């Protein structure tokens, strides 16, 4: 039986925002069924995003389901995996969107997030949530994005060192672009 990947795109993104079809084809070539989970990003917080993912996730057997996400979608998948452990959790370029990240986020980024999203972030303790992740994790990021954004590097390193069963991959020369051919090749090699 083929496992299903429930994939959450990045913040304010949908299937057409970047070449998510290329990403889907890459995952499908590895033997998975892939479903993009549509998220209503407008005027919502991480709690709403997780609720929307969980609504779709309830339709699937967790033992046959991989939760995956890119950027803010990775945070959404991470939090959803706390409540109902999937077969695996795949985090692509996870954003720094946990309470511990707030001191490292620039003021203009906080303004862009908005007060309600920042407040919701204060309620997400990475340290507490980490204790509840019980599935294998695959963690990916581009080397350029990690060098460009220290807060993203911090989040990547925390996930890599604080979770028990993590396989991490840094893709050389790639920025915040899951649809980059090199990023997809790295995903296919790791999966």
The residues that bridge with 35 in the sheet, in sequence order, are: 6
- pLDDT value, residue 70: 98
Residue 173's region, left for phi above 0, alpha for psi from -120 to 50, else beta, is: left
What pTM, to 2 d.p., does this model score? 0.96
What is the tens place of the pLDDT at every residue in 16-68? 999 999 999 999 999 999 999 999 999 999 999 999 999 999 999 999 999 99
Round the average pLDDT of the chain to a whole number and report it. Answer: 96
Residue recorded with tokens 């204790």: 131
What is the tens place of the pLDDT at every residue in 94-134? 999 999 999 988 899 899 999 999 999 999 999 999 999 99
Q: By the 8 A CB rule, do 122 and 97 touch?
A: no
Q: By the 8 A CB rule, do 10 and 17 touch?
A: yes
- The Cα–Cα gap between 28 and 140 comes to 18
Range of weakest confidence among 70-79, 87-96, 106-115, 171-180 = 106-115
- pLDDT value, residue 123: 94
Question: What are phi and psi for residue 140, nearest 5 degrees?
Answer: -130, 145
What's the CATH fold of domain 4-190? Answer: Rossmann fold (3.40.50)
- The Cα–Cα gap between 177 and 6 comes to 19
Indicate the pLDDT class of residue 1, thresholds 50, 70 and 90: confident
């Amino acid at each position: 039986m083929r496992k299903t990947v429930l994939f959450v795109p990045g913040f304010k993104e949908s299937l057409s925002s970047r070449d998510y079809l290329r990403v889907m084809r890459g995952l499908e070539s590895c033997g998975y069924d892939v479903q993009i989970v549509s998220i209503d990003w407008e005027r919502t917080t991480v709690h709403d995003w997780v609720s929307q993912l969980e609504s779709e996730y309830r339709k699937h057997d967790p033992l046959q389901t991989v939760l995956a996400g890119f950027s803010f979608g990775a945070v959404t998948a991470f939090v959803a995996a706390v409540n109902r452990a999937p077969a695996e959790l795949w985090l692509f370029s996870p954003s720094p969107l946990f309470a511990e990240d707030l001191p490292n986020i620039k003021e203009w980024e906080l303004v862009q997030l908005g007060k309600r999203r920042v407040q919701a972030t204060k309620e997400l303790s990475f340290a507490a949530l980490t204790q509840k992740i019980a599935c294998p994790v695959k963690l990916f990021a581009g080397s350029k994005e990690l060098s460009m954004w220290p807060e993203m590097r911090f989040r990547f390193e925390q996930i890599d060192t604080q979770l028990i069963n993590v396989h991490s991959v840094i893709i050389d020369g790639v920025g915040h672009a899951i649809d980059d051919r090199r990023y997809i090749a790295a995903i296919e090699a790791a999966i």
